[in-house]
Amino acid sequence: MEHKHIFIEGKDKNAPTLLLLHGTGGNEKDLLPLAEMIAPKASILGVRGNVDENGMPRFFRRVREGVFDEEDLKIRTKDLYEFIEDMSKEYGFDRDQVIAIGYSNGANIAGSLLYHYQDALKGAMLFHAMVPLRNIHLPSLDGVPVFIGAGENDPLIPMDETKELAEELRKAGAAVEEYWTKGGHQLTREEVEKAADWFKNNLT
């Protein structure tokens, strides 16, 4: 399925391609400032979610706040996985060098890619993410670097939820780094700067 998207070819052909996945109500350009802070020379594929929730784009449906439509999530995850594949052919970037940057709803679909596919992402930065699915056997994520940014006072995501996500990814072999702020659900400059340091140390 086609997604509204933006592709910007980076100055560094050897850098990974950043897959930008917005939060509820966002669009394919929302996270461009993050990409600029984290890896200014990398190519960028910004994607807009195909689900419309009261006029707000999302990547998959939810039953209510914090409760996902699991069947829809599985379908949309497969769709996004195939879309990245198609775009790598169309734009000529290396499919094996894709790093996700996701916030909130976008972080949840990025997490779902990791939960479903061994080769979906070379790494991921998940800002304010939840556990995408439970009772699922994760593929081997041996050595896949994952950064999780979270707020201790996030009203939408309890700390235990984030800890569970990190633990499940670690059990599958991922190299997970958690960074906690005192903040809530909003994205902070502090955690993006921390993610930029992490990116330099782990993915360049």
Q: What is the CATH number of the domain that holds 137?
A: 3.40.50.1820
> Is 104 a catalytic site residue?
yes
In the chain the beta strands, taken as DSSP E runs, fall at: 5-8, 17-21, 43-47, 51-53, 56-58, 62-64, 67-68, 98-103, 123-127, 145-151, 175-181
pLDDT band, very low/low/confident/very high, at 204 (cuts 50, 70, 90): confident
> Is 197 a catalytic site residue?
no
The catalytically annotated residue of 3, 5, 43, 154 is 154
Q: Which of 27, 142, 124 is nearest to 132 (CA)?
A: 124
Residue 65: per-residue pLDDT: 84
Span 152-178, pLDDT tens digits? 999 999 999 999 999 999 999 999 999
**Contact, 185 vs 157, CB < 8 A?**
yes
> Is 185 a catalytic site residue?
yes
The catalytically annotated residue of 104, 112, 116, 128 is 104
Whether 45 has a pLDDT exceeding 90, the answer reads yes
The whole-chain average pLDDT of the chain stands at: 96
Whether 13 has a pLDDT exceeding 90, the answer reads no
Element (H, E) at 195: helix 189-203
Residue 66: per-residue pLDDT: 83
**What's the Cα-to-Cα distance from 142 to each of 118, 119, 122, 145, 179, rounded to whole Å?**
9, 11, 11, 9, 21
The catalytically annotated residue of 79, 88, 94, 185 is 185
Span 46-104, pLDDT tens digits? 999 999 999 999 999 999 888 999 999 999 999 999 999 999 999 999 999 999 999 99
Percent of the chain scoring above 90 in pLDDT: 95
Domain that holds residue 134: 5-203
For 10, other C-beta atoms within 10 Å of its C-beta total 18
CA 156 vs. chain centroid, Å, equals 17
Domain count within the chain: 1
Whether 127 has a pLDDT exceeding 80, the answer reads yes
Please state which of the ranges 9-13, 81-85, 99-103, 121-125 shows the lowest mean pLDDT: 9-13
**What's the Cα-to-Cα distance from 85 to each of 32, 132, 198, rounded to whole Å?**
21, 22, 26
Residue 39: per-residue pLDDT: 96
Summarize the confidence of residues 9-21 as an average pLDDT.
Answer: 94
